[in-house]
């Protein structure tokens, strides 16, 4: 297989995973249409070749199934390393068309300035970043990944009311979790996870998505953990030293006791012999 053929096959798989991801998020995706999941590998190769192998020809625009106003773009940049200029261009396009969400499928890492620009767009415009390598397979179809379901706000409210809980009392999963990224979840959304169980048949878990803490906020906890670990080592070390000392003292006492006992025995023997005489 030539490098071009390999690249075409790779992009076909990436495109298919993106479409499955959008479908699972609730966007209108047809399983049979040649514009969506119904397109075969041969048809994709012919279309991609006719476009001059242009990645930008793979751009998608989709609407949510129950809300046509909720729209999303998927961009495939031609640049191997996306820069700030391209990010600014995407922002202008989305703003002009009134779209607040997009996915960018990257060939490689972005420049630092582009990363900063993406962060500055939120919450007005949200750009989700995926590397092509992350989309070669659909992780939710893996045998080791349990079933995940995203709860609606109504379902979340009913759950919290039923068990008299708050968001903060639910188990947490980070926003950067692979499955959370697949579903495009934001902080505060809740996932229902159904895992197989040998005893109960299946086990249901509820997780709430949380934003990963910044490095600065993690530092105090990290330092505190180091202090606790240091104190624990010191305590263990002191206990070991004390134990060794006690063992040494105990051994000395035994030694001296045996010496004293021996002396008494010998003294008794001598007196006995002396008495016998």
State pLDDT tens for residues 246-261.
776 665 555 555 555 5
Q: State residue 249's pLDDT score.
A: 64
Check residues 131 and 217 and name the one with the higher pLDDT: 131
Check residues 271 and 165 and name the one with the higher pLDDT: 165
Interval 8-33 mean pLDDT: 96
At residue 93, does pLDDT exceed 80?
Answer: yes
Give the dihedral sign, CA 52/30/96/77: negative
> At the fourth CATH level, which superfamily is domain 3-137?
RNA polymerase, Rpb5, N-terminal domain (3.40.1340.10)
Please, which residues have CB within 8 angstroms of residue 86's CB and are 6 or more apart in sequence? 77, 79, 114
Contacts from 23-32 at CB under 8 Å and sequence distance 24+? Answer: 24/140, 24/182, 24/183, 25/64, 25/183, 25/184, 26/64, 26/65, 26/66, 27/62, 27/63, 27/64, 27/65, 27/72, 28/62, 28/63, 28/64, 28/65, 29/62
Burial 88-102 (b: 16+ CB within 10 A, else e): eebbeebeeeebbeb
Q: Is the pTM of this model over 0.75?
A: no
Distance between CA atoms of residues 227 and 220, nearest Å: 11
Question: H-helix or E-strand containing 75?
Answer: strand 67-75
Interval 102-130 mean pLDDT: 95
62-76, 90-104, 192-206, 249-263: least confident range = 249-263
In the block, residue with structure tokens 């075409």:
8
CATH of domain 142-210: 3.90.940.20
124-133, 136-145, 212-221: least confident range = 212-221
Q: State residue 238's pLDDT score.
A: 66
At residue 215, does pLDDT exceed 50?
Answer: no
CB 102 within 8 A of CB 94: yes
Strands 147-150 and 101-106: unpaired
Q: Where are the alpha helices (DSSP H) in the chain?
A: 3-25, 41-50, 84-97, 112-121, 153-163, 178-182, 215-276
Domains 3-137 and 142-210 share a fold: no
Distance between CA atoms of residues 39 and 20, nearest Å: 13
Surface-to-core class of residue 104, CB atoms within 10 Å of its CB (0-12 exposed, 13-18 middle, 19+ buried): buried
Phi, psi of 66 (to 5 degrees): -105, 10
Interval 54-83 mean pLDDT: 96
CB 174 within 8 A of CB 180: yes
Phi, psi of 116 (to 5 degrees): -65, -40
At residue 129, does pLDDT exceed 50?
Answer: yes
At residue 44, does pLDDT exceed 60?
Answer: yes
Q: Quote the mean pLDDT of the chain.
A: 83
Q: Where are the domains of the chain?
A: 3-137, 142-210, 214-254
């Amino acid at each position: 297989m030539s490098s071009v053929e390999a690249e075409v096959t790779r992009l076909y798989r990436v495109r298919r995973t993106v479409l499955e991801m959008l479908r699972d998020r609730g966007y209108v995706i047809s399983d049979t249409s040649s514009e969506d999941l119904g397109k075969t590998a041969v048809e994709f190769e012919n279309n991609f070749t006719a476009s001059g192998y242009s990645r930008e020809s793979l751009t998608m625009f989709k609407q949510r199934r129950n809300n046509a106003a909720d729209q999303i773009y998927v961009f495939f940049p031609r640049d191997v390393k996306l820069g700030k200029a391209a990010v600014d261009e995407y922002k202008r396009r989305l703003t002009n068309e009134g779209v607040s969400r997009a996915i960018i499928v990257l060939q490689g890492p972005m420049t630092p300035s582009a990363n900063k620009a993406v962060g500055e767009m939120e919450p007005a415009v949200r750009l989700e970043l995926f590397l092509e390598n992350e989309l070669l397979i659909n992780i939710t179809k893996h045998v080791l990944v349990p079933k995940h379901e995203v709860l609606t706000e109504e379902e979340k409210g009913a759950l919290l009311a039923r068990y008299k809980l708050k968001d903060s009392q639910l188990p947490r999963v980070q926003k950067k979790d692979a499955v959370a990224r697949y579903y495009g979840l934001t902080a505060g959304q809740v996932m229902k996870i159904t895992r197989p169980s040998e005893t109960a048949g299946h086990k249901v878990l509820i997780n709430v998505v949380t934003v990963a803490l910044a490095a600065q906020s993690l530092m105090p906890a990290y330092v505190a953990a180091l202090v606790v670990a240091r104190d624990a080592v010191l305590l263990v070390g002191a206990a070991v030293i004390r134990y060794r000392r006690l063992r040494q003292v105990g051994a000395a006492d035994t030694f001296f006791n045996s010496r004293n006992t021996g002396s008494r025995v010998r003294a008794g023997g001598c007196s006995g012999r002396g008495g016998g005489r």
